[in-house]
Chains A and B, each alone.
Chain A
Amino acid sequence: MATSQANVFTVVSKFYDEYVTTTPQRLKIIDAYLAYIMLTGIFQFGYCLLVGTFPFNSFLSGFISCVASFVLAVCLRVQVNPQNRKDFLHISPERAFADFVFAHIILHLVVMNFIG
């Protein structure tokens, strides 16, 4: 029905406009990063579906690297978002970023070990 379609379209476009205007730039950068991670993960998974899981450990390490990076980035975004300041009074954005970097270092060590 045209109205529901129109409703969905208007909702989406309104959401997009609000996002562009109200989101601070930092968060947009992180969102771009998130989109990148997601695309990479999707491509890896698609490859696995296409040609099979050999070598399984490589696929796992790559895919989990994407997933974990995504999760860490989401955590960073949540902690850095000024609107959530009240929930993270004792964690400054710099501290959040430092945690992010530290976690990534460990993640990548493990991924490199597992990728074979």
Chain B
Amino acid sequence: MTRGTTLLVFFALTVVGQALTPTTVLTGVDQARLKAVFENARPFTDLASAHYSILGLKLLGAQIPNTQMVRVEGECCQYERVEDNCNYVKSAVDYQSPESLYYASSATKALGNCQLSSSSAQNTLQAAIKDGVDVPTLFFVVSALINLGLPVNSNEVVNALTEALKTDDSILSGSMALHIAAQLSKDADVKVIFESIEDLVAQADEVGEKYLQFEGDLGLTSFFVVGAYRLAGHQNKAPLIMEDQSVKFANYLLSRKHVQSPKNAYDVVAGLSTLANNKYHIPVCITRQSSMTVSSVQSKVQVRVSNVMSGALGKLTVKADSAERKEDGAVVLSNSALAANPRDNTLYELDFLKTKAGRGFYTIEFSVTADKPDSRLIGLSGAQVEVKVVTTVSVEEVELALEDKDQSTPPRVTKVQYPQKTGSNLAGDHHQNLVMKFLLKDKADNSAMEAHQAFVRLTNKRTKQEVIFVAEADDDHLYKFELDIGASAKEHFNSLSGLYAMDLVVGDALIQNPFAWNVADLQLKFPEDSATSEEKPNLYQPREEIQHMFREPEKRPPATVSTTFTALVLLPVLILLGLWIKLGVNIANFPLSLSAISFHIGLGSILVLYYLFFVQLNMFDTLKYLAILGTLTFLAGNRLLGSIANKRKK
């Protein structure tokens, strides 16, 4: 244990060199927002949220609204004032549950003029301290007993707690143990629990060297912080939490200040209240209150020096240790004291322009000392604030020239003064280059400077089309813009000759007066042969209508060919008939019986049916008729062929 402490002390000393300070603060706006979260928890839906809401408002020093509007049952949009807080708590409490009694008793204690029935509570609570009780129950019981002003047997509690902690080493239970110990009598033996603070802190997770938390859980972290400092105050001994660990806890709690539920809001407020008001560690926050821009109009940098709840810290001496320019690392001031604002004792001011710093982004580092030495204050050095110093720019030595590409004649140079315009229009055509030179000067120290945005914009006065070019500066910060009129005709100007307005556009983050200045009007003439059509086809106009082309019918042979072949195909029939006659087909032997005739008629009718099928009918109808005709034909045929067979046999 001692070795561990030595190691910690060693680390503490090494860390002092890079002091850690809170990143932000719980501003008045944040506190108002959290107050609204508490107030909006009404009408209360359960005892826990009532508990958090009431306690939260009390911590913020706000008035707890006494009555609440409750919807009248069965009626839409009708509200009535019902049940003040005390009645709600008294009606919602469950006297058999230590947890419920804990919430109810804390709420009534905060309300002040509300009383629970202590006898029934006492029965439940004292019965709950028995063998094998777990840490959460013990926490609820002890807290409730203390809240209700009932007696607590400290030794019994300590024993039960030690016993319970043997099997339960979660961080929540460890934190609950701290709270329990802080409420016991002063002579209770809680040394072991006090020393467990160190072990618990070791289990916290650090994020980015700025935040320290337990398992990403706001409630757990806050509960631990409150418990640790409470016990430390109770024992009158500093908790074994390092200064920058304390600051990192504060950072974590501050990072969660945008929560929405009463419980989370209470966790944030409770944790930060503890860190704003305890006997050992009070992180000091420095936040910029003035605007980031420092200019001749507004030259003062104002900061607020407070605790994490934006509360005052007494009389302090605030110094700006250094102000470093981001661009080149130049340090423009050191060790300047800030003046305290007479009306608000948390505000301090520094006249930054007194340092004669040029334009740029600056990081100012502060350090704080208390007039009355207060060992509780931590994070006293290393706070940084960013400002930017802006300046006004002037443009000078502006020259416009149109020079011939072949350098045959010396260019005509026109000088212009800002904010005037050239007297007459300049005329240029595709044999020439347009050259413009100018110099940007920082008015504060009359030195040449460069700007982020130095553009030359040419706008066709008729079609309003714009072309923007970038002007580039050389090593002496002299800007030059060259335009080859012939070469750029197609790409930039679409070969549209005409009158163009030429504007110089200058802007920068560090310039107070960015401008767009119409320098001259140019009459540009482009070669005719590369002139494209007047309007580029507008992509957003309706296009030509596409006529649908139906599928062309296939090429057919001429009618004569088809007719010839039809005749040709029918020719073999004649040949067949001829052959049959030659062979002596025996038609005379046609039996004139019913079956014979009906058979032949049936066959014929089937052929007729097929023709109709081809022309008109569909398959289903055809099959229907075929069935009928087929049956008849079959019967007839059967008879006929049977008779022929018999005749043959005979």
Contacts and interface: CB of A to CB of B under 8 A. Distances in A.
Interface of A: 25, 28-29, 32-33, 35-37, 39-40, 43-44, 46-47, 50-52, 54-55, 92-95, 97-98, 101-102, 105, 108-109, 112-113, 115
B575 A112 contact: no
Contacts of A109: 610, 613, 622, 626
Contact of B641 (A32, A46, A54, A98): A98
B630 to A, nearest CB: 7
Given A50-B557, A54-B555, A112-B614, 10 more contacts: A29-B580, A32-B576, A35-B579, A36-B575, A37-B572, A46-B565, A47-B568, A54-B556, A94-B645, A115-B614
Interface in B514-567: 554-557, 561-562, 565
A8 to B, nearest CB: 25
Contact of B561 (A36, A39, A51, A55): A51
A38 B457 CA distance: 89
Given A92-B645, A98-B637, A112-B610, A43 B568 contact: yes
A65 B526 CA distance: 78
A101 B637 contact: yes
Contact of A39 (B575, B580, B634, B642): B575
A45 B229 CA distance: 109
For chain A, what secondary structure do more than half of its interface residues adopt (helix, strand, loop), or is it mixed? helix
A98 B454 CA distance: 104
B583 A105 contact: no
B583 A29 contact: yes
B579 A32 contact: yes
Contacts of A35: 572, 575-576, 579
Nearest to A33: B576
Contact of A36 (B556, B576, B585, B644): B576
A95 B648 CA distance: 13
Contacts of A94: 641-642, 644-645
Contacts of B585: 29
A93 B626 CA distance: 25
B297 interface: no
Contacts of B648: 93
A32 B648 CA distance: 24
Given A94-B641, A112-B614, A40 B572 contact: yes
Interface residues of B, number: 38
Given A101-B603, A108-B610, A44 B645 contact: no
B606 interface: yes
B561 to A, nearest CB: 6
Contact of A43 (B565, B610, B619, B622): B565
Interface string B610-650: 11011000010010001000100010011001101100100
Contacts of B606: 105, 108
B580 A43 contact: no
Contacts of A32: 576, 579-580, 583
A25 B584 CA distance: 8
Which of A50, A51, A52, A115 has the largest count of B CB atoms less than 10 A from its CB?
Answer: A51
Given A35-B579, A39-B575, A97 B641 contact: yes
Nearest to B603: A101
Contacts of A115: 614
A94 B646 CA distance: 10
A32 B611 CA distance: 26
Interface of B: 554-557, 561-562, 565, 568-569, 571-573, 575-576, 579-580, 583-585, 603, 606-607, 610-611, 613-614, 619, 622, 626, 630, 634, 637-638, 641-642, 644-645, 648
Given A25-B583, A43-B572, A112 B613 contact: yes
A37 B576 CA distance: 9
A94 B637 CA distance: 10
24 contacts: A28-B583, A29-B585, A33-B576, A35-B576, A39-B571, A43-B565, A44-B569, A47-B565, A47-B569, A50-B561, A51-B562, A52-B557, A54-B555, A92-B645, A93-B648, A98-B637, A101-B637, A108-B606, A109-B610, A109-B613, A109-B622, A112-B614, A113-B613, A113-B619
Nearest to B641: A94
Contact of B569 (A43, A54, A92, A95): A43
A68 to B, nearest CB: 15
Contacts of A54: 554-556
Complex A-B, nearest 6 residue pairs according to Cβ-Cβ distance, in ascending order: A36-B576, A94-B641, A32-B579, A39-B572, A51-B557, A47-B565
B548 to A, nearest CB: 23
A33 B580 CA distance: 8
Nearest to A36: B576
B569 A40 contact: yes
A52 B569 CA distance: 17
A35 B572 CA distance: 8
Contacts of A40: 569, 572
Contacts of B575: 35-36, 39
Contacts of B613: 109, 112-113
B285 to A, nearest CB: 91
A55 B561 CA distance: 15
A39 B570 CA distance: 10
Nearest to A54: B554
B607 A108 contact: yes
Contacts of A43: 565, 568-569, 571-572
A92 B641 CA distance: 10
A51 to B, nearest CB: 4
Contacts of A95: 641
B581 to A, nearest CB: 10
Contacts of A92: 645
A62 B477 CA distance: 94
A109 B609 CA distance: 9
B583 A36 contact: no
B573 A36 contact: yes
Which of B619, B641, B644 has its CB near the most chain A CB atoms (within 10 A)?
Answer: B641
A105 B576 contact: no
A39 B576 CA distance: 10
A10 B63 CA distance: 137
Contacts of B569: 40, 43-44, 47
B580 A105 contact: no
A15 B561 CA distance: 38
